Amino acid sequence: MSFGATFRIGYVARRNAIFGHPRFQYWAARLPLIRWIARSRANAAFDLLAGFAYSQVLRAYVEGGVFAVLADGPISAGDVAARMHLSESAALTLLRAGRPMMLSEEVAPGQWMLGEQGAVFHTNPGVQAMVRHHRLLYADLADPLALLRADRRDPTALSRFWTYAGALHGVAERGEQTAEYSELMAASQHFVADEVLASVSFRGAKRLLDVGGGHGAFLAAIGTAHPHLELGLFDLPQVVETGSKVLGEAAGAHRVTAHPGNFFKDSIPQGYDMVSLVRILHDHDDAPAQDLLANIRASLTPGARLLIAEPMARIPGAEAMGEAFFGLYLWAMGSGRARSPAEITAMLRAAGFSSARVVATAQPVNASVIIARA
């Protein structure tokens, strides 16, 4: 073990012993110079405890249509209760619960309107679709240790939803789930596309292939912003058949080439100077993810680029999103994990890419970006 590791272990052990001592906590809470730090840590600890309650308040606002009701405000708790089929005391409890979360705001005694965050949620149906979707994760996490102890191949609420045969093909007869899937994918791809458009230049590219591109939402956004690009969509045959039509309507059919196939079994189409992997790599375990990168590298000529865009682990300012949220989300899904830029870069080099660089994004909770060159 290195000197640095030994020193850090000793430091962390000593720090934890001090911070965990009741006398230190009593002293820190009263010393003027560090009282604000102690209070901040206490609030953060309570947020960890209460996080599930916060998420359920948000879920109630989304599923109960509270945002739409408050958009008509100012409105009384009694009127909210009548429109939501709640008692007035229950409606008032919900409105008050959303107030510190800025979902609702009491603008005058007894009169309620949307809060700042509430206004954002109300005008963004994609974000609301994500909130509704997370009921599946919360169901799987009802007993987190049972989830972690189970075989990852055992079905979960999330794995049933995301299974290709179910989510993309077999749910055609179940309209509600199909609609939820389509709305969720369109919203999530939109967020990623916005980060890519704000941080990546496509001026040097002529032909862009999206591997695992689904119904073409990402390509549609990029193609609309960059009309000079020729667009290729590679995914399973059933997906590409629908996706290429949707993409053609959005970007022009003359610009779109459909490539049906399986990116683990079939060769990646050649002739593209840029390939994108959008929220694909983190869905797969290390071995298949490495195989996918090698398959893409084999299709590229020297100098061609691979764009990887997805939420990543250990991103400054978004650490909890990467390893706490997506760590458990992907575990419940039964496949994949969030990886750090360093891990992905190492995989890219192992796959034969000559270089890789991280591109900063404004909202890494939506996506981080890595550009690799063949």
Domain CATH number, residue 165: 3.40.50.150
Question: Which tokens in the block code for residue 10?
Answer: 């000793």
User: Do residue 240 and residue 281 come from a single domain?
Assistant: yes
Range of the domain at 112: 31-122
- Going from the C-alpha of 150 to that of each of 143, 155, 158, 325, 326, the distances in angstroms are 11, 10, 14, 19, 18
User: Domain ends where: 122, 154, 181?
Assistant: 122
**DSSP designation for 269:** P
User: Do residue 116 and residue 151 come from a single domain?
Assistant: no
User: Do residue 291 and residue 357 come from a single domain?
Assistant: yes
Mean pLDDT, residues 44-52: 89
* Domain at 70, CATH number: 1.10.10.10
**DSSP designation for 187:** H
Chain segment 340-363, per-residue pLDDT in tens: 999 999 999 999 999 999 999 999
User: Do residue 189 and residue 225 come from a single domain?
Assistant: yes
User: Do residue 64 and residue 154 come from a single domain?
Assistant: no
164 occurs within a structural domain: yes
Q: What angle do CA 176, 119, 363 make, to 5 degrees?
A: 85
Residue 17's pLDDT is: 77
DSSP strand E in the chain: where? 104-108, 111-114, 207-211, 230-235, 256-260, 274-278, 305-310, 355-359, 368-373
User: Do residue 159 and residue 100 come from a single domain?
Assistant: no
Residue 38's pLDDT is: 66
Strand pairing report for 274-278 and 230-235: unpaired
Chain segment 77-134, per-residue pLDDT in tens: 999 999 999 999 999 999 999 999 999 999 999 999 999 999 999 998 888 989 999 9
Chain segment 213-235, per-residue pLDDT in tens: 988 999 999 999 999 999 999 99
User: Do residue 231 and residue 350 come from a single domain?
Assistant: yes
Residue 125's pLDDT is: 86
User: Do residue 52 and residue 156 come from a single domain?
Assistant: no
Q: For tokens 């690009």, what's the residue?
A: 229
Question: Which tokens in the block code for residue 236?
Answer: 């399973």
Find out whether 272 and 320 touch, Cβ atoms under 8 Å.
no
Phi, psi angles (nearest 5°) of residue 129: -60, -40
Domain count, the chain: 2
User: Do residue 304 and residue 267 come from a single domain?
Assistant: yes
Mean pLDDT, residues 265-281: 97
18 occurs within a structural domain: no
- Distance CA(339)–CA(325), nearest Å, equals 13
- The answer on pLDDT for 195 being more than 50 is yes
pLDDT classification of 10: cutoffs 50, 70, 90: confident
Collapsed DSSP state (helix, strand, coil) of residue 75: strand
pLDDT classification of 190: cutoffs 50, 70, 90: confident
User: Do residue 307 and residue 237 come from a single domain?
Assistant: yes
255 occurs within a structural domain: yes
Averaged pLDDT score across all residues of the chain: 90
Chain segment 119-177, per-residue pLDDT in tens: 999 998 888 989 999 999 999 999 999 999 999 989 999 988 887 434 443 333 444 55
**DSSP designation for 150:** S
Q: Which range has the worst mean pLDDT, 35-39, 135-139, 153-157, 322-326?
A: 35-39
Residue 23's pLDDT is: 72
User: Do residue 57 and residue 169 come from a single domain?
Assistant: no
Residue 254's pLDDT is: 96
pTM of structure: 0.86
278 occurs within a structural domain: yes
20 occurs within a structural domain: no
What are the residue ranges of helices labelled H in 21-103? 22-28, 35-63, 66-71, 77-84, 88-98
181 occurs within a structural domain: yes
224 occurs within a structural domain: yes
**DSSP designation for 67:** H
356 occurs within a structural domain: yes
User: Do residue 197 and residue 239 come from a single domain?
Assistant: yes
Q: For tokens 């093909």, what's the residue?
A: 169
- Distance CA(77)–CA(109), nearest Å, equals 11
